Amino acid sequence: MPRIRKTIPGVDPRLLMKDAAKLLPDPSRRLFLRGAAGVGAITMLTGCDIIDSNAADDALMMMSRFNDRVQALLFNPNTLAPTYAERDITRPFPFNAYYAPDDAPEVDGETYRLEVGGLVDEKKPWTLKELYALPQEKQITRHVCVEGWSAIGSWTGARLSDFLKRVGADTRAKYVWFQCAEGYSTTIDMPTALHAQTQMTFRFADEILPRSYGFPMKIRMPTKLGFKNPKHVIAMHVTNKDLGGYWEDRGYNWFSGL
């Protein structure tokens, strides 16, 4: 939009503006800097309070819950994670946990039993031999960590959705909860549990899952961040109650879908 300028006869608008500018800026400039400094000071002095207060934590938690719902809506059960070729596999595949590699739980494959509970018809525990007898398939997918890095790995195992049907799980339930040998846990939504690439994993890169990657069984979900993929799983429960999880209870977003 062009500026409207009234010309005043006998007055040079340029000189007039110059005069006006000479008179105006100083007080207005001072007022400005004072105002700006004031806003800055308020932010600096109270900034920590704003950020650390419980009110801010509550608001962030509320937004995280809102993001859970948005992500559940964005999740298309028929969308598959891209798969890769053998040559794309990241070697060595990074070890990542909240403990050092030497502290990874040692599970005895002979005495191992997978406990199946909650809203299922068949609650008998499963031996490793029985689990290995399930039909298996391999996936080469990208593992994305909540920290930002990613790595491509090869995982072989049984579809969780097949297993849930086999044990007569109520797939109208909202959640599946997993418990790990050393106390780690996570809860996932049923649509992700039934996703075609959600896998009860027994092998990594065609070898029996090593201790560092979750022997004897991990749950591989390429549609979720790494921390939602539990290792050393000893129990799974089908439930309508969100039982949370190790990292979820420490502030990470619950859904954490990709």
Partner 1 sequence: MSAEAVPMSRTKVTIHPLWVRITHWINALAMVLMIGSGWQIYDASPLPLFQFEFPTSITLGGDLPTGLAWHFAAMWLLAANGIVYVGLGLASGRFRAKLFPIRGREILADVAAALRGRLAHDDLAVYNAVQKLLYLGVILAGVVIVLSGLSIWKPIQLQWLTALFGGYDAARYVHFFAMSAIVLFLVVHVVVALLVPKSLRAMIIGR
> Could you tell me the smallest distance in angstroms from the CB atom of residue 49 to partner 1?
14
Q: Which is nearer to partner 1, 185 or 239 (CB)?
A: 185
Which is nearer to partner 1, 114 or 144 (by Cβ)? 144
Q: Would you tell me which residues interact with partner 1 (CB under 8 A)?
A: 1, 3-4, 6, 8, 11, 13, 16, 19-20, 23-25, 28-29, 32-33, 36, 51-52, 59-61, 63-64, 67, 74-76, 79-82, 142, 144-150, 222-223, 247, 250-253, 257-258
| Strand 199-204 versus strand 218-220 pairing type | antiparallel
Burial (CB < 10 A; 0-12, 13-18, 19+), residue 201, is buried
Provide the minimum distance between the beta carbon of 82 and partner 1 in the complex, in angstroms, as a whole number: 6
Which is closer to partner 1, CB of 144 or CB of 169? 144
**CA 27, CA 216: separation in Å to the nearest integer?**
75
Pairwise CA distance, residues 130 & 206, whole Å: 19
Cα distance between residue 106 and residue 211, in whole Å = 7
Residue 67 Cβ vs partner 1, minimum distance, rounded to whole Å: 5
For residues 258 and 144, give the distance between their C-alpha atoms in angstroms, rounded to a whole number.
8
When the beta carbons of 165 and 250 are compared against partner 1, the nearer one is: 250
* Closest C-alpha to 248, from 53, 59, 61: 61
